[in-house]
Amino acid sequence: MVALAELTGKKEYFAPGHRLCAGCGAPIAVRQVMLGLPEGVTPVVCCPTGCLEVSSTIYPYSAWRCSYVHNAFENGGATLSGVEAMYLAKKRAGQLQDDIRFVAFGGDGATYDIGLQSLSGALERGHHLIYVCYDNEAYMNTGIQRSGATPWGAWTTTSPVGSEALGKEQWRKDLTAICAEHNIPYVAQASISHWRDTVTKAQKAWEYSKEGPVFLNILAPCHRGWRFPMEKTIEVARQAVKTRFWPLYEVEKGEWRLTVKVTKPEPVRTWLETQGRFSHLLKPGNEAAVEHFQAEVDRQWAKLMHRCGE
């Protein structure tokens, strides 16, 4: 595990003063990933359209203290693949000697849904890059619409709640496992609430990106879309881990390993209670819905434990 002293004085590649919401989980995820960058390495950042992009690069200003590429929702993986291929070609030709490494930061749309084909292609082709999803479980930048990352039962503007509906009707996509099945060097699931675990995984990610593609899925709660006070972001993220809704694990060279063990989990209801988007599930008469949610969390945890050999 990384020591706090190691991070003191490290260069910050994401500057303060950006226009992301106070309490936003995305910039916390970015800072933790960039803190894992080895000394002497030059980063190139790619951002598909999303909250992070529109709030950190409002012309003529930029919060990025490194080379930065903006691309559309659907082609983050392809864009960074092309930049990485150009770098390797120039390095083979002796035109570049710097140790440059590449990372993309995408939200739900750019990663789970619209950009999934581009991401999958980059992983399958074996490009030397890191793709980070700052997972806030909906299309927050465009109005809190449901995404493939949105949990079952959650309210969004396109999964409404009423007498005939309890929010989103489908369970969330297990994108971390999908990426692991691409047989790439390193995949990990993390949370901004566990900074040491996240930075340690980021350090591994930067190193493994020399061998091939890496995927990190980092829970980054959105207080606007999840409906909780902005000062509670870390607390809400931590509760997702404590209830086993969001397990912290890594898949290193095909070996699945739990990195934070939750031996005495809290009921998932305690996590649902932290957010207004689930308030309808907690009303009298909806007890079966909460039980259904808990059963799915338990099922997913059991499957992960089997993969990890626990």
- 168 pLDDT band (50/70/90 cuts)? very high
> Looking at the domain assignment, is residue 5 inside a domain?
no
Average pLDDT for 191-211: 98
User: Which residue range(s) make up the domain with 116?
Assistant: 11-308
Reported confidence tier of residue 147, pLDDT bands at 50, 70, 90: very high
Q: Would you say residue 191 lies in a domain?
A: yes
* Amino acid in the structure at residue 303: K
Residue at 237 is within a domain: yes
Domains identified in the chain, total number? 1
Domain-located, residue 1: no
Model confidence at 2: pLDDT above 80: no
Residue 21 lies in a domain: yes
- 175 inside domain: yes
Cα distance between residue 263 and residue 247, in whole Å: 12
Mean pLDDT of 199-227: 98
Tell me the pLDDT of the chain averaged across its residues: 96
- pLDDT of 7 > 90? The answer is no
* Secondary structure (3-state) at 308: helix
Residue 190 is predicted with a pLDDT of 98
Task: Please determine, for residue 258, whether its predicted confidence score (pLDDT) is greater than 90.
Answer: yes
Beta strands in the chain (DSSP E): 42-48, 67-71, 100-106, 130-135, 161-162, 165-166, 186-191, 214-219, 249-252, 255-258
Find the CATH number of the domain harbouring 259. 3.40.50.970
Answer whether residue 169 is part of any domain: yes
In a domain, 193, yes or no: yes
Radius of gyration of the chain (CA): 19
- Please compute the mean of the pLDDT values over residues 130-154 and round it to a whole number: 97
Specify the pLDDT at position 51: 96
